[in-house]
Structure 1
């Protein structure tokens, strides 16, 4: 099992080991919620378990998705599409060693004007 948490520890979770592929999203919503790029991977919702969830709150960020965050420290932790059986977990919230690999960038056409995307070998998708 792999583990993760928010900055203050009010939300702590675990999920099974696996070859998680990380996607970096450059859309304006992800940049606003994270302060920059939001990098995440998905697991089946049924595989995510919480050892602490007292600080977990949800924000409906669009008609199609909601975002989970810690209401104590503000850590952005989860993204879930409505009706989906999977959940996206913030890569930065996972305890090391993560075993994660960045494999693609999405919404690169919407990226902020203050940075450029480096040549990290990951796929770059203009829209998603």
Structure 2
């Protein structure tokens, strides 16, 4: 069981089971949503329980996805691809050790010019196909 919350605690969540290795997305939308690049783990919707769901604000950022944040403190929490059976949860929102590491950096062609990525993790200019 993994637990997490927003900054003020109005939104809390639990995830049952292991957390898949997260993706680090450097696209412009993720950078604006998070203030840097957005690192999230994709988990089955059925594994997630959200307390304070009425405090989650949703912004439809594209035809394919919406982004969830705490409407009280503004914490970026979720990346929700519509019509999929999974949801991305921000790694920084977890309270407990996650026992995972970033698996891939995506949209590197759009990354900010103020930082370098030199962690040895695979990098792609788009999203690689899912297995």
TM-score category (smaller protein) = over 0.9
CA contact (8 A) 2:56 2:68 kept: yes
Runs of 4+ with deviation above 2 angstroms? 51-54
Greater strand share, 1 or 2?
A: 1
Per-residue deviation at 1:54?
A: 3.3
The residue number in structure 2 matching 1:104 is: 104
How far, CA to CA, are the matches of 1:60 and 1:53 in structure 2? 17
CA contact (8 A) 2:19 2:98 kept: no
Per-residue deviation at 1:98?
A: 1.6
Is the partner of 2:103 in helix, strand or coil? strand
Per the alignment, do residues 110 and 91 of structure 1 end up closer, same or farther by CA in structure 2, a change over 3 Å counting?
A: same
TM-score, scaled relative to structure 1: 0.94
CA contact (8 A) 2:25 2:105 kept: yes
Cα deviation per residue 1:43-73 (whole Å; 9 max; x = unaligned)? 0011110233232111100111000100111
Per the alignment, do residues 52 and 104 of structure 1 end up closer, same or farther by CA in structure 2, a change over 3 Å counting?
A: same
TM-score, scaled relative to structure 2: 0.92
Long gaps (5+) in structure 1: none
Question: Within 5 A, what are the aligned runs for 1:10-89?
Answer: 10-89=10-89
Per-residue deviation at 1:30?
A: 0.3
How far, CA to CA, are the matches of 2:126 and 2:98 in structure 1? 27
How far, CA to CA, are the matches of 1:112 and 1:123 in structure 2? 17
Is the partner of 1:54 in helix, strand or coil? helix
Long gaps (5+) in structure 2: none
Per-residue deviation at 1:17?
A: 2.8
